[in-house]
């Protein structure tokens, strides 16, 4: 499968079609994975783009959210994935969630995009003042574990998430 260069950038209004396609692909997967926080078909797209911008400045954050930067991975004009960089860790994130969450559109997987997006995240996190990022993955998420380890993740430990019972592998990466 041919791999193209992926770039990380904020979502823009012109991404609407590509973004909605990505959302639909994630929705069709079992289990569903939260690609687009607080987004559904009824949301007016320009307002959503503004909402994400606001979150990066700590504005109008939903209940348990910390300030975060949501960036899409694009190849040409096509959205192939996204990363969410949390600017700080709350009690949940510092144990289970970590600084960075990422996902690649199902039809675009296994082309190196997640690894590249995580690598591109490092200098962005550094500019946000984060000297090392915590990245976690479910114990059975082999692809995500590989992505973290190939990006230089230093394994710390495995913890069990209360409530779900899911085991999380915790790694640190210097930015």
Q: What are the residues binding ligand COA (CB under 6 A)?
A: 33, 101-104, 109-115, 137, 141-144, 146-147, 150
- How near is the Cβ of 23 to ligand COA at its closest, in Å? 13
Question: How near is the Cβ of 113 to ligand COA at its closest, in Å?
Answer: 4
For ligand COA, the closer of residues 120 and 124 by Cβ is 120
Secondary element (H or E) of residue 56: helix 45-56
Please give the full DSSP string across 64-120, using - where no structure is assigned. Answer: TPPPEEEEEEEETTEEEEEEEEESS--HHIIIII-SEEEEE-GGG-SSSHHHHHHHH
Helices 142-150 and 113-127, axial angle in degrees (round to 10): 50
Taking the least distance from each CB to ligand COA, the nearer of 61 and 120 is: 120
Q: Which is nearer to ligand COA, 51 or 169 (CB)?
A: 169
How far, in Å, CA of 164 to CA of 3, rounded? Answer: 36
Q: State the minimum distance, in angstroms, from the CB of residue 6 to ligand COA.
A: 9
Q: How far is the CB of 135 from ligand COA (least distance, A)?
A: 7
> Closer CB to ligand COA, residue 44 or residue 76?
76
Residues 39 and 48: their CA atoms lie apart, in Å, by 7
């Amino acid at each position: 499968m041919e791999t193209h260069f992926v770039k990380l950038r904020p979502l823009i209004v012109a991404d609407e079609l590509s973004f909605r396609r990505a959302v639909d692909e994630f929705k069709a997967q079992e289990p569903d994975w939260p690609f687009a926080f607080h987004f559904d078909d009824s949301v007016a797209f320009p307002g959503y783009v503004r909402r994400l911008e606001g979150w990066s400045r700590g504005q109008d954050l939903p209940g348990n959210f910390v300030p975060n930067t949501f960036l899409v991975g694009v190849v040409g004009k096509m959205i192939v994935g996204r990363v969410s960089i949390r600017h700080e860790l709350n009690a949940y994130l510092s144990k289970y969630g970590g600084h960075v969450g990422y996902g690649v559109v199902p039809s675009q997987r296994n082309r190196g995009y997640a690894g590249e997006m995580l690598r591109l995240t490092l200098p962005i996190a550094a500019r946000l003042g984060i000297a090392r990022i915590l990245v976690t993955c479910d114990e059975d998420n082999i692809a995500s574990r590989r992505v973290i380890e190939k990006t230089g993740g230093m394994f710390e430990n495995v913890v069990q998430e209360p409530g779900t019972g899911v085991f999380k592998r915790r790694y640190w990466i210097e930015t």
